[in-house]
Amino acid sequence: MLHRAARRPQFFYTTAPLPCPYLAGRTERKIVTELAGNEAEALHDRLSRAGFRRSHNIAYSPVCPGCRACIPIRIITGAFQPDRSQRKVMKANADIAAYEMPARASAEQFALFQRYQTARHGDGDMAAMGFYDYRAMVEDTPITTGMVEFRDARNRLLGACLTDWLSDGLSAVYSFYEPDADKRSLGTYAILWLVSRARSLGLPYVYLGYWVPESRKMAYKARFRPSETLSGGMWRVLPEHADAAPAAADHARISVTG
């Protein structure tokens, strides 16, 4: 008789309440689970489709009582068409070259990361990160992850995007860029590059994490159309002129077996 090894049970935990990083006066809680072992890649795939995000070797999703402000969102790469503003961004960065690198931290990346945090998020926790914290963010991954570097004609590093490779798309984990190059809109350019890259690979989606319509810093994600949001356990195309969250967003329904 053949005996199959028992699958390790997957445990999920709820974090303690903390101040919400997006909306003042609110608290956040997350459901988290570890990504480890031979099944990490497949599990991460399934959880991403269920609205989870990755940080280090943890997958998480918000489960804030009485709040559904964070909406999982992904761009439909095959149908995406840049709008007028996005075409201008592409033109402004025609001199930029993108390089797909292993998930390895460098001193050059960290210096750019520090400048970005100081200029854009000086009061946030990430502004206090040292090099070893940064290296852990980049390198502590149990799945297929890479760093996309964006360089100008002088080979100067202007931006970077930590990216997860999924079976159905690319997931933008974290991006940062030169704060003195505001006119380039490098954050937008990084997303446009990911869309183009995913399309060339035959991948249908670019996952952008959570769209938070009430947060000025996170509302930009809805500008990439067409896109889908996760609501009621299903991905649905975001209406063309939608600027508010779906009424019944629910992205904590998960299946880790299929």
pLDDT (mean) for 78-83: 97
In a domain, 152, yes or no: yes
pLDDT in tens, 175-184: 999 999 989 9
In a domain, 1, yes or no: no
pLDDT in tens, 106-138: 999 999 999 999 998 877 788 889 999 999 999
CATH value at residue 137: 3.40.630.30
> Could you give the strand order of the β-sheet that contains 30-34, starting from the edge strand earlier in sequence?
13-14, 30-34, 58-62, 53-55
In a domain, 42, yes or no: no
The span from the CA of 229 to the CA of 245, in Å, is: 9
In a domain, 3, yes or no: no
Structurally, how many domains does the chain consist of? 1
In a domain, 25, yes or no: no
In a domain, 105, yes or no: yes
Domain enclosing residue 107, as ranges? 82-214
Give the chain's mean pLDDT: 91
Q: Where does residue 182 rank: exposed (0-12), middle (13-18), buried (19+ CB within 10 A)?
A: exposed
The span from the CA of 96 to the CA of 223, in Å, is: 22
In a domain, 257, yes or no: no
Ramachandran region, residue 176 (left: φ > 0; alpha: ψ -120 to 50; beta: rest): beta
In a domain, 205, yes or no: yes
**pLDDT of 253:** 47
Global pTM?
0.91
| Predicted confidence (pLDDT) at residue 240 exceeds the cutoff of 50 | yes
On whether the CB atoms of residues 162 and 197 are closer than 8 A, the answer is no
